[in-house]
Structure 1
Amino acid sequence: MCLRQDPMASYDVNSRDTDPQPRYDLNDSNRHGTRCAGEVAGGANNSLCAVGVAFEANIGGVRMLDGEVTDAVEARSLSLNQQHIDVYSASWGPDDDGETVDGPGELARRAFKEGIINGRGGKGSIFVWASGNGGRERDNCNCDGYTNSLWTLSISSATENGHVPWYSEACSSTLATTYSSGSGLEKQIVTTDLHRGCTTTHTGTSASAPLAAGICALALQVNERLTWRDMQHIVVRTARRANLQAPDWVTNGVGRNVSHSFGYGLMDATAMVNLARRWTPVPEQHKCETPSSHVDKLVPPHSMVVLTLTVAQCPSVKYMEHVQARISLEATRRGDIKVFLTSPAGTTSTLLDKRPHDSSRAGFREWPFMTTHNWDESPLGTWSLKIHNDGRYSATVSDWTLVMFGTEVQAGTAPPPQPPPPAPTPSSDRSSAAPAASQPPPLARLPGCLRAHPESLLCLECERRKLLSDGACLASCPAKTYADQEGLACLPCHYTCAVCSGPNDYQCSACHGDASLTAGQLGTACLNTELLARARAADRYAQRFTH
């Protein structure tokens, strides 16, 4: 299978040479990188295996896990040729054992910072990260300092039937999802393997992150000016709930579906590429911190405490991106602690869930628990931090600080034009002029709306028998969308459908001009007319040949 291997993107950090070829052994234990590489950039029209998502991309390999993995090894790998490499795909991290709390060391953090500030000529390196495979151990990916970082685009997995895989970890730092393996009856990922072979059994979030990296490469192919933050905004705006099934789906304060298992949903390559073509660069990112007073709050066994912070001002941050709760906490048994953060808009993020295997007495020291669930919400108002202690021993919250990252102007929009000041009337001076007519309240400008976002003036909740669609309340869903099962909102159809009854490609009821509606076992799908004609012609030829 042909991969466009790029020597400038390759290095063997373990052996300190320029050849990253895997070491062969009886167990083929070095197969991981080869499998991931094929998902991204497997050659088109090859006769051996599946095509890569970004089959025109150049790809390199970094051999760094086949030896002692130190801070220096990680830093060297993450900083390799930052002016040449656009996307780093990483399917590694701390142990997924349900008891480890660990993140990048000083050198690796420096490599991350250097990458997002100076990488790609100042546009920033794009770090795509697998969210982790500790689901069976009830691990939480917010205890992984790599996925729990605002510098990484954290990706979880979904099975082919839209379920949460047994290995997948849930956490509030996950941004989006791609497919991977599931139960024994569900398909796994097809990709390249060692010995110039092909495998149909690639698994885990290790298989999901490269798919995401390939989709990011497609977006860069049509718009190489995208920054690392542009890419995250595009993912948030295009990811789809689709057929993903999880009990924790909620609608956040600006009307987006989000889940701790799947983030904002499945990445949509077509939608990302289309949005990337017309994307306006995001405004400058700003940061504001609101520290608590010294807390020293006792959390007795089998109890809960609620700590609040009121954010009265957050200079230059009106629309949030990442939010961190930096917490210091002492616990006799760390795994008994659960932490929840609720924003002023009412969105609750699970920053930490119970981890039965974590018996550490170390607690947390200024650990930056991160959530992406408040994207584009306003930071102003009262935040609440709920800390549950489900164990037999006391815990103490020393202090916590709320750290909010975001922009003054909403990404993807231009600043609203300022109306000219009213001209004074000639018949009266300024002091006797009648007061200007007051602006109508936000709800008056949003017919059918029950609750609106105070900053963006987008509707968040509609009256009965109205459907929420892109911040407006409509009597029926517009083209290329359908009403959800609850009849509350309009959701996007599969991109192949012009009209649909649900999110899947077999729920089409009308097609675009280049496709025909075709009945199948599951329903009706839109198949490209030209490809359908070729397939039928090939089938007729095969029948003639066999007869």
Structure 2
Amino acid sequence: MGKKKECRILKSFENDFKNINYLNNSDFSSKRIFVTSEFPCSLNGEDNILREESVNSQQQTFVPKRVYTNQWAVKIAGGHQEQADELASKYGFRNLGPVIPGGEFFLFESRTLGKRSLRKVRRHLHSSIRREENVVWLEQQVVKKRVKRDFLAPLSPHQLNQNIHSPSLLRGRRPPGISSVNIPILKPIIADGSVIQHADYVENNGGNGEMEEDYFMAGDDFLDMNRVQDRAYYARMKFSVPNDPFWKDMWYLHRRDDQPDEMDHNVKEAWALGYTGRGVVITILDDGLERTHHDLAANYDPDASYDVNDRDEDPMPRYDYADENRHGTRCAGEVAAVFNNSLCVVGIAFNAKIGGIRMLDGDVTDAVEATSLSHNSQHIDIYSASWGPDDDGRTVDGPATLTKNAFERGITEGRQGKGSIFIWASGNGGKDADSCNCDGYTNSIHTLSISSATERGNIPWYSEACSSTLATAYSSGASGERMIVTTDLRDSCTKTHTGTSASAPLAAGIAALTLEANQNLGWRDLQHIVVRTAKPVNLRAGDWRLNGIGRNVSHSFGYGLLDAGAMVRLAKVWRNVPKSKKCRAIYPNPYKTIPRGNRLHLQLYTDVCADKRDNHVKYLEHVQAIVTLSAPKRGDIQIYLTSPRGTRSTLLAKRQRDTSRTGFKDWAFMTTHNWGESAYGTWSLEIDNDGLDDAELLKWELVLYGTDVFIGPTGFEPSSALSERSVQTSHNGDSFTDSGVEQRSIRWILVFIASLLPLLIGLLVLS
């Protein structure tokens, strides 16, 4: 096919969109506006403008027209509802209430304007409202492009969707002789003076599975445990196979049963220890949740659900012939599908409560995102999001004002102050050489960004590499590799859930098991546990490197594959980390020209705010390089950051499709690769310009997040010498020395010598 005919945008918009035909609200939300049936246009999320769409061409012609809504976000000092009502009424609006509960931002809706317009409201109205005494800020809401990260164009006919609907499933796939449901029974075991628990599962015949040996892993062994999974313990554990018909297809949960040399998410160990998600609440931010699905209904939580698109309490998806809104229901099944009910699958956290926020099936605005991310934050523990800006290799987009506020309030106030857990899919733009560091959601310090690995441990063809990814969960891969099995619309099941969309809910389920093991974990505690327990074993990438404290890390896989068993074991003994500190270091006189075909190399020494007690960062967690630069072609720019310990992070890889001339303005490129390193010393920023014209650096600011005390293998230990010691590093390539590792090695040497003493004494006696 040739190029589609030019999209003709009408010059007159007296009646906005009167010549634009669309079937219903969802057709607009799916980012396709029909001027006529022949002339499709699509929404570009980065600039919120209409653009021409080409079929066999990567080139697109941009028409500079934003799509405005009839809603305004208004910040009112003090956040008083009465003042908001009066102000809205005065200017012909209806106050829809606070965007974030308890906050100062309110959402006003015009009583006279249409829902969408290509013209911004008259400037004098903005000026009049801004002059009101208590108004701090206001902004007309614009439509943002947000894409679900599941649908991937099949690489072969074998990857086409294959849904298995419930009528045939119930008739032909129910195992015979099912008389009872497996129920986990917690039994305390005394081991080494400590109480642990494990779950024996009631088998179908009424018997109990039993653990043949008591098992306990001391806290000192966690660093050793982090190297490989304890297969001996796993093999000793008996497990009653659930009767859910697609359990056998859930290779990512149990394939070590038959393939001991392969990896899985080790959830059976977490279950055997008694952790199934009980008491934890997860919500899926998506296109709706089929709450009536027979494999989800028992775990459905209405208090964790809301329809932001239609502003009501019911998150049920809108049905159409293509099942376009199946995404949220698929994600939910991975997390909390019911265990052993003869239907579909087993959720990783099958005793957790699951909710859904319907927010993608309509106009997505800053207010929609913020409302979704802050819904009932004292009740919901984990928010799972498998969507984001377009993964097209040219978009740079992220949270706007309201959504940033929702994240900040979530991590400071959510979960009774422990912090809401935000888990995000890293993106599917691999085929377009996209970078997830250009996605402000996965690139945020507030989110736990999850990438994907294929069944064979390879980098999926759709995966994006970036330094903000923390860890990895399984998903689909190339032809011949299995996908993710889960619930689907219309009370059905599917074996073809794909993309990073499928990885994030697996991570959410594992996080739920971890929170059940220790309900006092904060949002940063969970990230620390992920870093310490993720497994790089059998994940194939060419960029695995040891960071400055000896941890393997990759731009494709983060710190490795999530291990549920290791996470719950570490969570049980974890001590909460102290409050995070933040140190800023600004590069002086940053105005630098980057000649075409050249590299700019800058160095910045920091004493990590040693003279400021509240900002003193010795040991790192997240690191941001905030950059402002201009470039004739943004995609020609590459950025690298090297820490004082020699860890080099790729903050931005080359994006050939990104032809934007807008550059970057205060964009915070984030890396997790320096986790645990000392922050002292000289940081290096390298900027490559592969373009045909010069680029200009206008600003570089380094932001360090972390603590002023060392976080040990089981968290913060204020009463021990561990919290006060300094980490001594000798970095020459891959070498690293940690005094804690040395102490543990010395201890084991002494134990070994002590074990030989009786033999030596016996030999002396005989002699």
Band of TM-score, shorter chain:
0.7 to 0.9
Which digits, 9 at most, give the CA deviation of each residue in 1:16-47, with x for residues without a partner? 11111111111100000000000000110021
Q: Please name the residue that 1:162 is paired with.
A: 457
SS at match of 1:113: helix
Q: Please name the residue that 2:353 is paired with.
A: 58
Give the distance between the partners of 1:460 and 1:56, measured in 2 at CA.
46
SS at match of 1:124: coil
- Checking the alignment, whether the CA contact within 8 Å between 1:41 and 1:59 is kept in structure 2 is yes
Which digits, 9 at most, give the CA deviation of each residue in 1:485-534, with x for residues without a partner? xxxxxxxxxxxxxxxxxxxxxxxxxxxxxxxxxxxxxxxxxxxxxxxxxx
1:182 maps onto 2:477 in alignment: yes
1:2 maps onto 2:295 in alignment: yes
Give the distance between the partners of 1:407 and 1:147, measured in 2 at CA.
22
Amino acid at match of 1:457: Q
Q: Please name the residue that 1:339 is paired with.
A: 639
Amino acid at match of 1:390: D
Q: Please name the residue that 2:13 is paired with.
A: none
1:292 maps onto 2:587 in alignment: yes
- Checking the alignment, whether the CA contact within 8 Å between 1:458 and 1:472 is kept in structure 2 is no
Q: CA RMSD in A?
A: 2.3
The Cα shift of 1:202 comes to 0.1
SS at match of 1:127: strand
Give the distance between the partners of 2:744 and 2:510, measured in 1 at CA.
33
Amino acid at match of 1:350: T
The Cα shift of 1:160 comes to 0.8
Give the distance between the partners of 2:607 and 2:709, measured in 1 at CA.
18
Give the distance between the partners of 1:78 and 1:167, measured in 2 at CA.
26
Give the distance between the partners of 2:528 and 2:745, measured in 1 at CA.
29
- Checking the alignment, whether the CA contact within 8 Å between 1:468 and 1:474 is kept in structure 2 is no
Using a 3 Å threshold, how does the CA distance of structure 1 residues 418 and 52 change in structure 2: closer, same or farther?
closer
The Cα shift of 1:413 comes to 3.7
Using a 3 Å threshold, how does the CA distance of structure 1 residues 37 and 302 change in structure 2: closer, same or farther?
same
- The match for 1:354 among 649, 654, 659 is 654
Give the distance between the partners of 2:303 and 2:408, measured in 1 at CA.
21
Q: Please name the residue that 2:727 is paired with.
A: 456
Using a 3 Å threshold, how does the CA distance of structure 1 residues 46 and 406 change in structure 2: closer, same or farther?
same
Which digits, 9 at most, give the CA deviation of each residue in 1:201-236, with x for residues without a partner? 000000000000000000111111110010000000
Matches within 5 A, 1:46-125: 46-125=341-420
Using a 3 Å threshold, how does the CA distance of structure 1 residues 337 and 408 change in structure 2: closer, same or farther?
same
Amino acid at match of 1:327: V
- The match for 2:499 among 204, 213, 220 is 204
Q: What are structure 2's unaligned runs of at least 5 residues?
A: 1-293, 611-615, 749-767
Matches within 5 A, 1:244-323: 244-315=539-610, 316-323=616-623
Using a 3 Å threshold, how does the CA distance of structure 1 residues 138 and 82 change in structure 2: closer, same or farther?
same
Amino acid at match of 1:414: E
Using a 3 Å threshold, how does the CA distance of structure 1 residues 84 and 418 change in structure 2: closer, same or farther?
closer
Give the distance between the partners of 2:413 and 2:737, measured in 1 at CA.
44
1:26 maps onto 2:318 in alignment: no
Amino acid at match of 1:200: K
Using a 3 Å threshold, how does the CA distance of structure 1 residues 366 and 237 change in structure 2: closer, same or farther?
same
SS at match of 2:353: coil
The Cα shift of 1:284 comes to 1.2
Give the distance between the partners of 2:359 and 2:734, measured in 1 at CA.
56
The Cα shift of 1:471 comes to 3.7
The Cα shift of 1:461 comes to 7.3
SS at match of 1:61: strand
Amino acid at match of 2:428: N
Which digits, 9 at most, give the CA deviation of each residue in 1:245-292, with x for residues without a partner? 001100000000000000000010000000000100001110001101
- Checking the alignment, whether the CA contact within 8 Å between 2:646 and 2:731 is kept in structure 1 is no
Matches within 5 A, 1:366-515: 366-411=666-711, 412-415=715-718, 455-457=726-728, 471-472=741-742
SS at match of 1:36: helix
Give the distance between the partners of 1:54 and 1:415, measured in 2 at CA.
33
State the TM-score, normalized to the length of structure 2: 0.56
Give the distance between the partners of 1:385 and 1:301, measured in 2 at CA.
17
Give the distance between the partners of 1:461 and 1:361, measured in 2 at CA.
40
Amino acid at match of 1:65: L
Matched residue count = 443
State the TM-score, normalized to the length of structure 1: 0.78
The Cα shift of 1:161 comes to 0.5
Give the distance between the partners of 1:363 and 1:461, measured in 2 at CA.
36
- Checking the alignment, whether the CA contact within 8 Å between 1:255 and 1:471 is kept in structure 2 is no
SS at match of 1:368: strand
- Checking the alignment, whether the CA contact within 8 Å between 1:190 and 1:199 is kept in structure 2 is yes
- Checking the alignment, whether the CA contact within 8 Å between 1:460 and 1:471 is kept in structure 2 is no
1:137 maps onto 2:408 in alignment: no
- Checking the alignment, whether the CA contact within 8 Å between 2:309 and 2:360 is kept in structure 1 is yes
Give the distance between the partners of 2:498 and 2:639, measured in 1 at CA.
30
Moved more, 92-101 or 311-320: 311-320
